[in-house]
Amino acid sequence: MVGLSSSIQEYLKAIPEPRYRILKNSTPLSGGIIKRGEIRLVNFASNDYLGLAQDPRLVERATSYAREFGTGSGASRLVTGNSPAYELIEQKLADLKGTEAALLLNSGFQANATVLASLLNKFLHRGPGKSEALLFTDKLNHASLHFGAQAAQARQIRFRHNDLGHLEELLEKSKEQPGNRIIVTESVFSMDGDILDVERVRQLARQHDAFLYIDEAHATGVFGKNGMGLCAGGISRDELVLGTFGKGLGSYGAYIACSQNVRDYLVNACPGLIYATALPPQVLGAIDAALDLVPGMETQRQYLKELGSFLREGLEARGFSTGGSTSQIIPVIIGDDATVIQVARKLEDKGYLVGAIRPPTVPEGSGRLRITLSAAHSHDQVAGLLEALVSTLEEVGS
């Protein structure tokens, strides 16, 4: 029998060089800059869309919470980790999202993986004479959503990426089948930067009596009423909306906006809440500050939108495709993994850090540069990236 260590070694040896992942040390600085070693780079790889991760007001609130409550929660929320700050923040969230209730969890991946699995376990009703749930998922949903479906051993009925016409066809074909229906998608897609038609998917959910689960991780802070996502202000009892604090809100953690019944169910059934140590006080402090600030950051949101339009138009005018992006996430699809890495390294040599995304994060043959803009970027920084990107792509013949 081959030992585990030997099997791992063989696995690592079999990974092609362009897909071998390593961890690199980075120090984020203000003004959209990141430091790697002694080199400073303009950072177009972060999800800090509003520049709040370096905001002194978040730092101050985080520090004050740590001074008052210490540095650790000490237990899960169901034991002694549920401080009054949790309830205040969850009520603030519910008010901002326009829903009955909210629930904080430890991360976006953990929330999607465990919340979705918990809901599916309830929807599936496995047993003699019981029917399976019908789970409709966007083909390019985030890995955490696919993981949640797999954890519940639920079969996914996948519709073409962001193609609600195809979703409607699948719903119509299955209308005579028994079983609860659940639709799972994102509002702003993390790798393509395109945007869901929220009102249309809500209409389809109502027509087919389906529960709707929408991941707003990359919309939170950037889109919607008060910057609280494209679903904000109209979340029904048959919807659950997930968002995160580690992207546009500059901190860490995740939240669920939902009905009070769904919240109560998750408190009793979601392993990601039941068994996880609660978020530490300083993180709650930063979240609290961000929720106070984000509704008033419309100027930054408009500026971020203008930066996105400028970069997309500049790339497309030079013959490069940005796919269906209409957000602060702009992909430049190259295809070949080795070329993606080569372009990213050349850009780094020119002073720009851009994400080099390869399979399995994206489908085979769709390796890309993933550019993420921030309100912390200056127009000159984005213009400089555009020129460096175009010249580099021309150099490598992409």
Residue 130: per-residue pLDDT:
55
Q: From the options 3.10.450.50, 3.40.640.10, 3.10.20.90, 3.90.1150.10, give the CATH code of 16-50+297-396.
A: 3.90.1150.10
Q: Which residue has the higher pLDDT, 365 or 72?
A: 72
3-state SS of the chain is CCCHHHHHHHHHHHCCHHHCCCCCCCEECCCCEEEECCEEEEEECCCCCCCHHHCHHHHHHHHHHHHHHCCCCCCEHHHHHCCHHHHHHHHHHHHHHCCCEEEEECCHHHHHHHHHHHHHHHHHCCCCCCCCCEEEEECCCCHHHHHHHHHCCCCEEEECCCCHHHHHHHHHHCCCCCCCEEEEEECECCCCCCECCHHHHHHHHHHCCEEEEEECCCCECCCCHHHECCCCCCCCCCEEEEEECCCCCCCCCEEEEECHHHHHHHHHHCHHHHCCECCCHHHHHHHHHHHHHHHHCHHHHHHHHHHHHHHHHHHHHCCCCCCCCCCCEEEEEEECHHHHHHHHHHHHHCCEEEEEECCCCCCCCCEEEEEECCCCCCHHHHHHHHHHHHHHHHHHCC
Q: Which residues are catalytic?
A: 47, 142, 186, 190, 215, 218, 247
Architecture of domain 56-295: 3-Layer(aba) Sandwich (3.40)
State pLDDT tens for residues 170-191.
999 998 888 889 999 999 999 9
Task: Name the residue ranges covered by the structural domains of the chain.
Answer: 16-50+297-396, 56-295
- Tell me the whole-structure pTM to 2 decimals: 0.92
State pLDDT tens for residues 80-123.
999 999 999 999 999 999 999 999 999 999 999 999 999 998 77
